Amino acid sequence: MNHKALLLDRDGVINVDHGYVYRQEDFQFVDGIFELCREAIASGYLIFVITNQAGIGRGYYTEADFDYLTRWMLNEFLVQGVLISKVYSSPFHSVHGLGKYKKDDESRKPRPGMIHQAVNEFGINLSESVLIGDKCTDIEAGQNAGVRTNILYIGDSDLRLDSKLNCYFVSTLNEAKFFL
């Protein structure tokens, strides 16, 4: 357990959340994401994406659609000088999932399953790691896993926050660099 990690949610942190984004033409990178990731790499972090993808479970798009967009996204990061070590996704939803996707799975945030996978596969030291999400469930997943620093990216939203959240808040990804 000797690697520190930057754990990123996808929709709302890496790309603008337009709701169930699965097509390249709908994918818009959030300002500052590439700079944040380059800074993290320069500071010795491995980068991971941890993303709930209930759109698959709800039947809005397929796993193949998600995989195609993910390969494109990873290539865009490489063009910007950023290597994403791995993307973890959870297609499940306990209420709205269809067929095999209708289940309460350990991988779905706020549960820490995807983070634990990264720990097991890459030797991540969570006491030196940072998670950035845009929803309370992202922060809860980080806290449930034992991530040292959890950051809620609120952008310019008028988000009403749960006072029980013990995390940092940033309105730009540039501000998040100070926590690396």
pLDDT at 162 over 90: no
Which string of DSSP letters, residue by residue, matches 97-136? --GGG-S--TTSTTS-HHHHHHHHHH-B-GGG-EEEESSH
Q: Nearest Cα to 74, choosing from 65, 61, 83, 64?
A: 83
Q: pLDDT higher for 61 or 160?
A: 61
Asked, for residue 57, whether it belongs to a domain, the answer is yes
Q: What is the 8-class DSSP label of residue 91?
A: -
Q: What is the mean pLDDT of residues 10-34?
A: 97
pLDDT at 5 over 80: yes
Asked, for residue 42, whether it belongs to a domain, the answer is yes
Whole-number pLDDT of residue 163? 54
- 118/103 Cα distance (integer angstroms): 22
Per-residue model confidence as pLDDT tens digits over 71-129:
999 999 999 999 999 999 999 999 999 999 999 999 999 999 999 999 999 999 999 99
Bridge-partner residues for 169, per DSSP?
152
Q: What is the mean pLDDT of residues 137-147?
A: 96
Asked, for residue 133, whether it belongs to a domain, the answer is no
Asked, for residue 131, whether it belongs to a domain, the answer is no
pLDDT confidence band for 167 (50 / 70 / 90)? confident
Asked, for residue 34, whether it belongs to a domain, the answer is yes
Asked, for residue 166, whether it belongs to a domain, the answer is yes
User: 9: domain range?
Assistant: 4-126+138-179
Asked, for residue 81, whether it belongs to a domain, the answer is yes
Q: What is the mean pLDDT of residues 59-73?
A: 98
Whole-number pLDDT of residue 1? 66
Structural domain count of the chain:
1
Query: Among 18-22, 38-42, 70-74, 152-156, which stretch is predicted with the lowest mean pLDDT?
Result: 152-156
How much of the chain exceeds pLDDT 70, in percent? Answer: 95
Q: What is the CATH number of the domain that holds 43?
A: 3.40.50.1000
**What mean pLDDT value characterizes the chain?**
94
Catalytic residues: 9, 11
What is the pTM assigned to this prediction? 0.94
Asked, for residue 132, whether it belongs to a domain, the answer is no
Whole-number pLDDT of residue 161? 57
